[in-house]
Amino acid sequence: MKHYIFSALFLLSGTFYGNAQNSTYILSDFYADDPELDRRTEQVFSALSDTQRVGQMIVPPAGELGRSEAVLLRLVAEGKVGSVNYLRGTREAHRELIRKVNETAAQYEQLPVLHGMDAEPGLLKGRIKGSEPIPAAASIKSPEANEAVARAINKELLELGILHNYAPVSDLGTANAAIKSRSYGSSIDSVILFNRGFIAATQEAGIVATAKHFPGHGLVTGDTHKRSVYIDGELKELGVYPPLIKQGLISVLVGHMTIINNEKYSTNGLPASLSRNIVTGLLREELGFKGIIVTDALNAMKAVTIIENSALKASMAGCDLLCMPLDENQAINSILDEMSRNEAYKDQVYTSVKKIIRLKIVLGLIKM
């Protein structure tokens, strides 16, 4: 069913489906003290139902390893998708699916979708088949080469209309089974330097960069794709993040590592992505991060799939974008149910949704 109130408000306010080139804002305005941007965000938010609001937090997978086209487009039509994460596919297949997603959102008068991809150095060829070879992070030896890599990735993403890159990797060391050559190395100074360069080049191009896997996956033993992984004691990789946050980083992805033997930062048996102590207490409050917090994949990593209702738990922990939940409808319904009886949590969800809307405005997806 079309949402006629939503449509009428957008017609009256002059809002239309735009792109970054036509925006009156730029990405760095996300953190600006701008009353007009606040007003526009509130205006868009007020026109949405609670289902549409919660839908903004949902990031289903697409591509050869993701949801079928029919399922994805139905979710978009129903207002249950805010972003999409594109997995493996050709340029042509991604481009055609992105076109269909955009057309469906417009047809059913839903907010434009933010298209994302895990386009790290070295992984791009697995996401966009036929793309130019890009070296892995560990083999990049100079800031100049690193920024050239970021620009090459940006070119591929912008040509498809993808404006959220779940990169760079901010983990220390190349020994971990899941990270390996995805890391810039073992020196915290080098990792910070190369992360800063990649983030700057990405965000200057109008693409959201995402530092990951908070609070650190490089110095642990094991792979969160296969089992629970533990940070035992000190958070040795945490020092990477404050300089990136200070720089204006827009997005942080929280990993599924469980923290033990650390009185202050214990996750009480949960992955960090589901821990309010880590997501809100450490990242949001202690480190002062005001941007978009994303979960690592919720559908294919055994460190988190063993936990019931993980999408709700991640949202309650303070995550804004729920990446690839096992069941989008179940995630939305469980969040709506919790909102109906928990006013403080409802306010928190609204804050997450307003940040997502604000991001879409500064990216030019919503032009007013």
185-203: b (≥16 Cβ within 10 Å) or e: beeeeebbebbbbbbbbbb
The residues spanned by each domain of the chain are 4-41+52-367
Per CATH, the homologous superfamily of domain 4-41+52-367 is Glycoside hydrolase, family 3, N-terminal domain (3.20.20.300)
pTM of the full structure: 0.94
Write down the residue that tokens 């249950």 correspond to. 80
Write down the residue that tokens 């080139």 correspond to. 21
Res 9 pLDDT > 80: no
**Averaged pLDDT for residues 161-181:** 95
Given a contact cutoff of 8 angstroms between Cβ atoms, the answer to whether 242 and 283 are in contact is no
How many whole angstroms separate alpha carbon 319 and alpha carbon 273?
8
Rounded to a whole number, what is the largest CA-CA distance in the chain?
56
254 has which bridge partners? 214, 295
Q: What is the pLDDT of residue 23?
A: 56
Write down the residue that tokens 């600006």 correspond to. 32
Res 336 pLDDT > 70: yes
Kindly list the distances between the CA atom of residue 355 and the CA atoms of 27, 37, 102, 361, in Å, as whole numbers in the listed order: 13, 11, 21, 10
Res 18 pLDDT > 90: no
Residue % of the chain over a pLDDT of 90? 86
Query: Rg of the chain over CA atoms, in angstroms?
Result: 19
DSSP letters for 136-165: -GGG--SHHHHHHHHHHHHHHHHHHT--EE
Res 177 pLDDT > 90: no
Task: Give pLDDT tens digits for 289-324.
Answer: 999 999 999 997 677 888 999 999 999 999 999 999
Task: Give pLDDT tens digits for 245-287.
Answer: 999 999 999 999 999 999 999 999 999 999 999 999 999 999 9
Res 98 pLDDT > 50: yes
| Least confident residue range of 23-27, 187-191, 331-335 | 23-27
Mean of pLDDT over the chain: 92
Q: Residue 286 phi/psi, 5° resolution?
A: -70, -45
Q: How confident is residue 227, by pLDDT bands cut at 50, 70 and 90?
A: confident
Beta strands of the chain (E only): which ranges?
Answer: 16-17, 58-59, 61-62, 83-86, 89-90, 114-117, 128-129, 164-165, 210-214, 230-232, 251-254, 258-260, 292-295, 322-323, 366-367
Res 19 pLDDT > 80: no
How many whole angstroms separate alpha carbon 205 and alpha carbon 272?
31
Q: What is the pLDDT of residue 16?
A: 39
